[in-house]
Amino acid sequence: MVRDAPPLIFADRDEAGRLLGHELARRHLAEQTRPLVLALPRGGVPVAVQVAARLGGDLDIVLARKIGAPGQPEFGVGALAENGPPVFDEHSLGYLRLTPDDLAGTVAAERLELERRARRYRAGRPAPITAGRTVILVDDGLATGVTARAALRWLRGQGPHRTILAVPVCAPQAREALSSEADEIVYLSAPPGFHAVGQWYDDFGQLTDEDVDAAIRGFASA
């Protein structure tokens, strides 16, 4: 645990990434291999750029999409990552009296969006090779954690040496729920009054595909 109180308010994702990178560097200065920093687009990209710059790591993305409840697309009941199977939150499914079959159409639509983003962001490049590497998965925060869970399970199947989930802020419940999914979870704040990731940022504007491209290009040319 880094700190649970007082809660932090970040100016924007860049500041959150700089602070998170500093914390990771403090913990992993003895790391001998160049880490692979994987961002969850879109919001995780500017955070991951700062982390990779601070650690001297390689930067790439891992693609994941939330599976929203019918009529409530922002309420994640599951998620998909890359070419992996859907991962569902069984508690949410039970609460809403849903089955995976009820969400087949949503899953298909989100898989198409994953394919679009792969073409858009990678421009023909393959998914990153994570086998044998220390991999740091970065997002701008964890609410339910269902998207990060799908990404971590996909990563586990790729044979990394070690997986670290790193976020500036997370809901305490999400932190606990994901404790068995990564080798380590690094966070800066896990406030008890957590309702949404955006409440812990002064600037939490929605990002576009162009923002993602610009951030990645900026890192590559630095």
Residue 50: predicted pLDDT: 97
Mean residue pLDDT across the chain: 91
Q: Where are the alpha helices (DSSP H) in the chain?
A: 13-27, 44-55, 90-96, 104-122, 146-156, 172-177, 209-221
Residue 102: predicted pLDDT: 95
Q: Roughly what angle, to the nearest 10 degrees, separates helices 44-55 and 209-221?
A: 10
C-alpha 125/C-alpha 99 separation (Å) is 35
Cα–Cα distances (Å) from 208 to 41, 43, 45, 159, 214, in that order, read 10, 9, 11, 31, 10
C-alpha 173/C-alpha 44 separation (Å) is 20
Q: What is the token pair recorded at 157? A: 């199947």
Task: Name the residue type at position 220.
Answer: A
C-alpha 180/C-alpha 170 separation (Å) is 16
Task: Write out pLDDT tens, residues 94-151.
Answer: 999 999 999 999 999 999 999 999 999 988 888 899 999 999 999 999 998 999 999 9
Task: Write out pLDDT tens, residues 20-31.
Answer: 999 999 987 545
**Cβ within 8 Å of residue 26, ≥6 positions away:** none
Q: Which domains does the chain have, with CATH numbers?
A: 13-63+129-221 (3.40.50.2020)
C-alpha 21/C-alpha 37 separation (Å) is 11
Task: Write out pLDDT tens, residues 47-98.
Answer: 999 999 999 999 999 999 999 999 888 888 999 999 899 999 988 899 999 9
